[in-house]
Amino acid sequence: MAAFYQLFIDGKWVDAASGRTFESINPGTGEVNGVVAEGGEEDIDRAVNAARRAFESGPWAKMAPGDRGRLLYKAAQKMSEKLDFLAETESKDNGLLINETKHIAMPATVDVLEFYAGLANKVQGDTLASPADRLNYTLKEPIGVVGAIVPWNFPIMITMWKLAPALAAGNTIVIKPAEQTPISTLELMKIFEDVGFPDGVINVVPGYGETAGQALASHSGVDKVAFTGSTHTGRLIMQAATKHLKPVSLELGGKNPNIVFEDADLESAVNGSLFGIYFAQGQVCASGSRMFVQDSIYDEFMDLFAKKAEMIRVGDPLDPTSQMGPQVTEKHLQSIERYVAAGVEEGASLRTGGERYQGAGGGYYYTPTIFENVTSDMRIAQEEIFGPVVSAIRFTDEADALAKANDTIYGLTSGVWTNDIKRGHRMARGLKSGTVYINTFSMLDSAAPFGGTKQSGFGRDLGIEAMDMYTQTKNVWVDLSDGLNWYGL
């Protein structure tokens, strides 16, 4: 029988107020992975109230920053001890390969937690220049109750991008995981529970976006909303947050250009570009889904790229020899199929792939797919497919590459492959995106701020910069003179 998971509110595991549950499906098999309590408005309200109490009073409110950091370190330590279990749980929850969860996502998540644990006692304001008879300084304070709404592509990792800096800064949090992938986050909470975080500091309410997510984004008791997901939902979150004018940070979609110049090392550009699009089944907001290749090397590059793409082993995510796992749901697979059909209809040439992969059992598998003869006006060049589908586009020179690369509503990441150091940095300046990779793709580091420009959102996850997303500045004035007596009364 499938395991049952409850909501985690105020330090307790509880049923949803409605008593409703939903099934979470393992994308690798299509079978039920667990049954989960379905949180709704009333549960969000309970969770926000618990987070408010924990923020305003009780042990968390009084805890020294260094002690907060130590608790976060303890959680990181426990995560490391249970890394294999968490990796497998995550792979079963969303279909990421065990190699991706065990060797990339989970270690990166532990690193994020350790990074912010170390920053907990380094939050500081400034003493400002002021006359001798005045003291003027700033305090960096936590914002309060954070509402975090996260997607399904890297559930634990992206949750940690919000959770760790929010807690390091002294906030409390209510997390709404994606309906497709609530289980790994709930397993993660058991670790935080064991470590001894005070009740109400972290709350997790799985449920649907339109109900639980909407209730969280619009709740009067939430002081800040941190969101990762689609641009469409980002807009809805922003609208919901306007009700009480709460700040939001949005990490949204991308249609990221990956530009290969004729002077690049061909083999390493091919290998890096394969990782850029097919890593995590292409379900990556940072993926290099528009691949621009210079005319003079186009045929040679594409022949090698296609040859290697066809060699990628699609299969069971728990099999360490698999190189690409399943898409997250049948619904998402169908959305990819619709995009591929649109590409063909609009006149692009399907070089390889473009069909389901049947050889791996009952899950939602798709083949690595390449479109050629793509033009920038096509939907497959403009809309985020979020799957293993790359659109290859030719370019003539640097100016042409830049113009085509920037011709999108998005601005999350970009990649440049070149051995010309000046060209690499010129392109880095010209590309309109939050991150630029030179001779690599899809890199992440706890220290490196990550986020978008244009409709890829605003605000930054990761890096020291993310602490700004979870703190606010208070300015304090002190009069050291005989006193302010403007009216001379």
Within 10 A of 248 (CB to CB), how many other CB atoms are there? 21
Of 398 and 461, nearer to ligand NDP (C-beta) is 461
- Please, which contacts does 430-435 make with residues 24 or more away whose CB atoms are closer than 8 Å? 430/402, 430/406, 431/257, 431/402, 431/405, 431/406, 432/406, 433/254, 433/256, 433/257, 434/460, 435/286
337 is annotated as an active-site residue: no
Of 225 and 309, nearer to ligand NDP (C-beta) is 225
Rounded CA separation 371/52 (Å): 50
- Structure tokens of 409? 């509503």
Of 121 and 230, nearer to ligand NDP (C-beta) is 230
Cβ 332 to ligand NDP, closest distance in Å?
Answer: 6
Distances from the Cα of 465 to the Cα of 83, 123, 149, 183, 291, angstroms: 27, 11, 20, 29, 30
Of 76 and 236, nearer to ligand NDP (C-beta) is 236
Torsion on CA atoms 239, 245, 250, 255, rounded to nearest 10: 40
Rounded CA separation 325/343 (Å): 23
Alpha-helical runs (H) found in 177-288: 183-195, 214-218, 231-242, 266-278
Choices 71-79, 136-144, 175-183, 440-448 (CB under 6 A): range interacting with ligand NDP: 175-183
The answer to the question of residue 151 lying near ligand NDP (CB under 6 A) is yes
Residue 296, φ and ψ in degrees, nearest 5: -65, -20
Of 91 and 214, nearer to ligand NDP (C-beta) is 214
83-122 residues near ligand NDP, rule: CB under 6 A: none
The answer to the question of residue 295 lying near ligand NDP (CB under 6 A) is no
- Structure tokens of 44? 């969000």
The answer to the question of residue 217 lying near ligand NDP (CB under 6 A) is yes
The answer to the question of residue 208 lying near ligand NDP (CB under 6 A) is yes
372 is annotated as an active-site residue: no
Rounded CA separation 404/393 (Å): 9
Rounded CA separation 27/164 (Å): 28
Q: Exactly one of 251, 262, 372, 398 is catalytic; name it.
A: 251
Of 286 and 302, nearer to ligand NDP (C-beta) is 286
Choices 3-11, 17-25, 102-110, 209-217 (CB under 6 A): range interacting with ligand NDP: 209-217
Site size for ligand NDP (CB under 6 A): 26
Residue 227 burial (10 A CB sphere; 0-12, 13-18, 19+): buried
The answer to the question of residue 281 lying near ligand NDP (CB under 6 A) is no
- In degrees, rounded to 5, the angle at the alpha carbon of residue 209 between the alpha carbons of residues 208 and 212 is 70
Q: Indicate the residue type of 314.
A: V
Of 203 and 214, nearer to ligand NDP (C-beta) is 214
Of 165, 209, 388, 463, the one binding ligand NDP (CB under 6 A) is 209
Of 149, 163, 188, 360, the one binding ligand NDP (CB under 6 A) is 149
227-266 residues near ligand NDP, rule: CB under 6 A: 228-230, 233, 236-237, 251-253
11-70 residues near ligand NDP, rule: CB under 6 A: none
Q: Exactly one of 90, 114, 187, 285 is catalytic; name it.
A: 285
Please name which of 160, 183, 152, 179 lies closest in space to residue 327, comparing C-alpha atoms. Answer: 152
Of 401 and 444, nearer to ligand NDP (C-beta) is 444
Cβ 395 to ligand NDP, closest distance in Å?
Answer: 25
Of 5, 152, 278, 371, the one binding ligand NDP (CB under 6 A) is 152
Please name which of 228, 209, 349, 346 lies closest in space to residue 283, comparing C-alpha atoms. Answer: 228
The answer to the question of residue 370 lying near ligand NDP (CB under 6 A) is no
The answer to the question of residue 214 lying near ligand NDP (CB under 6 A) is yes
Of 43, 179, 187, 316, the one binding ligand NDP (CB under 6 A) is 179
- Strand order across the beta sheet in which 31-37 lies: 3-5, 31-37, 21-26
Binding site for ligand NDP (CB under 6 A): 149-153, 176, 178-179, 208-210, 213-214, 217, 228-230, 233, 236-237, 251-253, 285, 384, 386
- Give the residue numbers marked as catalytic: 251, 285
